[in-house]
A and B are shown apart, each in its own frame.
Chain A
């Protein structure tokens, strides 16, 4: 016992290092499992408000791009107005309000922090639990996908970006409905890899990839990007497809958090599939 104490005292520097290194790594590993809520992150108190100040500053630098984006979005929304549609078969189909209910509710938010250079990138938005934001809700720019909510504090939430090794999303080819999975390979911030589309599907460069709507995070048919390269590895049954993202992550500012009001219903029903009989 005495010898052990002398040994530890003699090498205290090494043991000190060992203890702190183990604490660091266990913190890292335990928070890597990312449905655990983390309490030290950029959505917490002081750092959240600092990030907020920075975002206000950055907003001025990006005003031009933001204006363009908003104009584009306005144009898209105007196109969807009832007034701008031409009714082909007048009198045959009658739409009343009771025919449809709102499934997706959009909550506008601003990006106040956005990492790009890491392997697991996150965003921080200025909406939190006081605005009703919950974990796992999807985030879009209005036209294209951004990520999903990871943690929520009263005024802020953090978002797992598409540019994150832990982000996987089920998508489909717009023209044929063949579906596969996208994930980021950690290289360029404008590209993701699409796997799982079998070789008999007619994929070409320039094809549009959209969301499939199976995850209960995003509605169907939200733009993901365009196919830029189609490869086939010898012996593989699947295409290896590179997709150029429609979202410009380096100038992201205005986003929408999506509340799928049928989410609980879908998840509860699907959970029954996994229950033992």
Chain B
């Protein structure tokens, strides 16, 4: 339990710094903006209580906002992601339910499951983020393309991150 908490705190700090200091520097044009930091909210354990996940995501978003001078923007997107996460988890649950030893990652849930899970939540997060950032609907389809392109890139980064962080024999 303690190890699990420590691991998540480490992930919190590392992903914030990685996103704020390195990924934000990566400039692939306005259409491809990866937000890998979202992986923290996706990787929280299945048994994380509902009352914890929303305030936690809010704090996490505010930390991210401090790096990009957008107070409230990341926070709003993170809170929405945290709110939809339990619903998506229920939707994608295996027939016999989640076991205590399972973690929401490729290692224990498989590639297809993770692709659906990360894909849906990343789309929700990015849609909320980009539409709030533009703050009007006059360029609806332009923004939609940015949401889709950026989500694809973010999910790709998440998959790469999972393969880098876990060694293959560790199952």
Contact = CB atoms under 8 A, between A and B. Distances in A.
The answer to whether A and B belong to the same complex is yes
B140 interface: no
B72 A27 contact: yes
Contacts of A115: 24, 68-69
A13 B29 CA distance: 37
A20 interface: yes
Interface stretch (A35-43, A206-214, A228-236, A257-265): A35-43
B30 A40 contact: no
Interface string B62-91: 100111111111011001101100100000
Contact of A20 (B24, B55, B65): B55
A20 B54 contact: yes
Contact of A25 (B29, B86, B132): B132
Given A117-B27, A117-B30, A250-B27, A41 B71 contact: yes
A54 B21 contact: yes
Contact of B66 (A23, A40, A58): A40
Interface stretch (A83-91, A103-111, A118-126, A168-176): A118-126
A219 interface: no
Contacts of A29: 72
B41 interface: no
Interface string B133-157: 1110001000000000000000000
B51 A16 contact: yes
A150 B122 CA distance: 32
A58 to B, nearest CB: 8
A199 interface: no
A195 interface: no
B61 A24 contact: yes
A144 to B, nearest CB: 19
B71 to A, nearest CB: 5
A41 B69 contact: yes
A28 B54 contact: no
B37 interface: no
Contact of A47 (B26, B30, B54, B66): B66
- Interface size, A (range): 35 or more
A32 interface: yes
Given A40-B62, A42-B67, A116-B27, A31 B83 contact: no
B50 interface: yes
Contacts of A41: 66, 69, 71
B58 interface: yes
Interface string B108-146: 000000000000000000000000111100010000000
Nearest to B87: A13
Given A17-B83, A24-B76, A32 B135 contact: yes
B65 A40 contact: yes
A28 B131 CA distance: 13
A49 interface: no
A137 to B, nearest CB: 18
Given A13-B83, A42-B66, A42-B67, A21 B76 contact: yes
Contact of B67 (A14, A24, A47, A187): A47
Contact of B72 (A24, A117, A118): A24
A154 interface: no
Contacts of A23: 58, 72, 75
B83 A40 contact: no
B33 interface: yes
A114 to B, nearest CB: 9
Nearest to B80: A21
A44 interface: yes
A26 interface: yes
Given A41-B71, A50-B21, A117-B30, A25 B76 contact: yes
11 contacts: A13-B83, A20-B54, A21-B79, A21-B80, A24-B58, A27-B72, A29-B72, A50-B21, A186-B30, A188-B29, A188-B30
Given A17-B83, A189-B30, 5 more contacts: A16-B54, A24-B72, A115-B68, A186-B30, A186-B139
Interface of A: 12-14, 16-17, 20-21, 23-29, 31-32, 38, 40-42, 44, 47, 50, 54, 58, 115-120, 122, 158, 186-189, 250
